[in-house]
Structures are given as structure tokens and as C-alpha cells.
Amino acid sequence: MAALAAGLIVWALPAQADVGFQRFISGFWPTAKAAGISSQTYNAVFSGMQPDEDTLRLMSKQSEFVKPIWDYLDSAVSKDRVEKGRKFLNEYGPVLQKIEARYGVDREAVLAIWGMETNYGGFMGRHNVVQALATLAYAAPRRKSFWEKELVTALEIVQAGHVRFQDMEGSWAGAMGHTQFMPSSWKAYAADYDGDGRRDIWTSIPDALASTAAYLRKHGWQTGKTWGYEVKLPAGFDYHLADGDKTLTLGEWGRYGIRRSNGKGFPRPSDNAILVLPAGASGPAFLMLRNFYVIKRYNNATAYALGVGLLADRIIGGGTLEGDWSREHMPLNRSETAELQALLNRRGFSVGTADGKIGPATRRGIRAYQSSRGLVPDGYASVVLLAHLKMDG
């Protein structure tokens, strides 16, 4: 049995109860109570709860495998996902039209995020969000205060009646519903499209789509503008310009000889853009606009934002990429990256500590090495570059 002060809460524990977890639940009650959670809600939610075993297994797992961007995009922009997106574009046409008018976010971008996050609701996660967050707040080795705040917010959502506790589906890390909001994002951005008083991103597709549009608008979405353009670089191009930071207008990039891959001109040459080469010189190049970086606020990964952009384009009839990926230029995992850094340091191209993380210093070191050996100085770390360094005695 367990009892909590200031509102007695009692429940029977399973035979194989995790005593430490039950102690955490008892100790967390004052925090929840201070946030306005009632003893009735707390008791109903935590009665008999045990830690989520998948969350315990995954929370500290550091996978060495790095998925190449081309494999990621093959899945993200698959034929099936494009076809489903077009189906839902038609099925939810009136809803999407109203959402676009209300929030100023292009409908295909909203649909693409839904497709990327849960395959249009096909898989929203098999975990109860409160259980997953309680497990993380109890056992995660890092960010304890973050998980505790997310847990409190999840309890607030249940108590306010936006979703039943048993329907609060999400990922092992607490991302929820059709478009995978963390509770704090739900609190800040979720929308009640249908006006029923609930912001239900689990069972109301219109609410989920409107919530995504509200999120993108709040982060600066530019209505009617694309996310970016696939481009071709001229022979002899200075790859130091592709540092991921240099911002020029599309017209200014054009003066460096950069052209759209499809041969068309840029509709708005005054738009600002950043040149991005996700796989260095061995893959397609892109000029990314503001909306690309708004998408990255949803998930701060270049592959993710590129997947959303390409899927959105395909949903409304756009074609596939003109350029191809040189698939032998596989990205490095963390241990391989550390080896690369150590070799660069040993060759006199200082990149700092060999920590397995690629930052500006490592990219500068790679470019310096590539330039000194007559290689294309794209700053891209790949198995090909690592092999070159190993042979370069």
C-alpha cells in the first residue's frame, strides 16, 4: 500500500513492484499538487503503475548506427507515403483550406509533418505518455527537471479532460498524438479546431493538423513560400561558401553560378537562402529558405526537414530529386568520427578534442585537410574520407 499526505491516496502494488518507482511517485505528489493536480487525478493515473520497460531500455541507448540521409529519405518520401498524402489532401481538403486560411501555413507542409511523424496516424507510439514520462523523471540519467515538467503538464492535460488517460498514446519519450507534440509544446501551441473545448491531438485529426499549423506559424512560417530549391553548383565552385551559415539572396547566389536543378529561375530572387550540402559534394545541393529552418524547429535535423519539404512537394505534384547520392560516401558513426578527429589532429589539422561530434572546428579541419590534398573541400565526414586519412601516412 502507499499513502500520500494532503489528500490520502492509496493503491495496491503489484507483486513485482519497483519500490524505487513507487517511492518516486510518492515523493512527486507535492510537486503535482502545487501545480494544481488533484488527488483524484493523481490516484487514478498512478494506481498500480510500473515503469515503462521500453523507456528504461531506450533512454540510455547510444546507437552506433547512423542512417545515411538517402536511406532516410527513401523511407520518408516513399511512394506509399506520397500516395497517402495525396489521398488525405483530398479527404481533408475543406479542413486544410480553413487551417491554411486561419494560420497562413501551406496545407502540404502540415500534411507532410503528419506523414513524417506518424505515417498519417498509422503509428502514434504504443506507450502511455504519463507512464513514459514518469519513468524518465524517475530513472533518466539526464534532464531530470525537464522530464518532471513534462510529466506535470501531461497530468494537467488529463485533468482538464482533453484526452482520457488510457488514450494518451505517444512515444517512449513522451511525444504525443498524430503530430507528436511533447506536453509543453501541446500547452503552448495545440489548437481546438472544432471548438469543442478540447485540444485533442490524439483522436481529432483536425485538431492535430491545426496544432501543427499553429506551431509553424508561431515559429515564423512564411505563407506561400517554399522551403528551398535543389540547385546545381558550377565547376570550380568554392565549397567554403557551403558552411551552413552564409546567407545571401537567391539572386546573389546566382551570381556565383548556382542554378536550379530543373532549369527554372527563382520566383523571388530577393529571398534569403543558405546553401546546404547534406552529403557534401557527393550528393544534391540545396538553397534553403526561411521555412526550412521553421520546419527544423519541429525536429532539429537536416534530414527530417528535407524529408518534410520533399514530401510536401510530392504531395502537390512535384517531382523527385534531379541529383543523386553517391552512396559509397557513407556517414561516420560516433566512434569513427572520433577516429577521424584524432587522425586530423595527428596530421596537424587541429579540430580540438576527439569527442565523436562534428562541429564547426571539425568541419574547418576537414576542409583544410581536403584542400591540402587536392580534394574537394566540402567539409563532409565520410567513410571515404576516413579511409583516405588512414592511408595518408
What is the per-residue pLDDT across 36-59, written as a single tens digit (0 to 9) for each?
999 999 999 999 999 999 999 998
pLDDT digit string (tens) for 107-150? Answer: 999 999 999 999 999 999 999 999 999 999 999 988 999 999 99
The pLDDT value recorded for residue 72 is 95
> Is 358 in contact with 333 (CB distance < 8 Å)?
no
Which amino acid would we find at residue 220? G
Closest CA to 329 of 242, 368, 373, 387: 387
Buried b / exposed e across 196-229, counting CB within 10 Å, b at 16+?
eebbbbbebbbbbbbbbbbbbbebebbeeebbbb
- At 128, give phi and psi (nearest 5°): -75, 125
Helix %, strand %, coil % for the chain, to 5?
A: 50, 5, 45
Q: What is the pLDDT of residue 2?
A: 45
Q: Are 207 and 282 in contact (CB under 8 A)?
A: no
Q: Helix, strand, or coil here: 212?
A: helix
Determine contact, residues 95/60, Cβ cutoff 8 Å: no
Q: How many CB atoms lie within 10 A of CB 108?
A: 23
Encode burial over 338-364: b for 16+ CB neighbours within 10 A, e otherwise: bbbbebbeebebebeebebebeeebbb
Q: Tell me how far apart the alpha carbons of residues 350 and 369 are, in angstroms, rounded to a whole number.
A: 10
pLDDT on residue 22: 93
- Name the residue with cell 489521398: 87
Q: Which pLDDT value is given to residue 66? A: 80
Which residues in the chain land under pLDDT 70?
Answer: 1-17, 62-64, 393
Q: What is d(CA 319, CA 219) in angstroms, rounded to the nearest whole number?
A: 28
In 3D space, the residue among 339, 331, 338 whose CA is nearest the CA of residue 382 turns out to be: 331
* Single pTM value for the model: 0.92
CA distance 163 to 185: 16
Residue 60 is predicted with a pLDDT of: 77
* 249 strand-pairing partners: 272
Region of residue 17 (left: phi > 0; alpha: psi -120 to 50; beta: else) = beta
**Nearest Cα to Cα of residue 330 among 63, 69, 64:** 69
For helices 302-315 and 69-76, what crossing angle results, to 10°?
A: 30
Separation of alpha carbons 69 and 80, rounded Å: 19
Nearest CA to 237 among 251, 255, 262, 263?
255
Q: Look at residue 291 in the predicted model and tell me its pLDDT.
A: 98
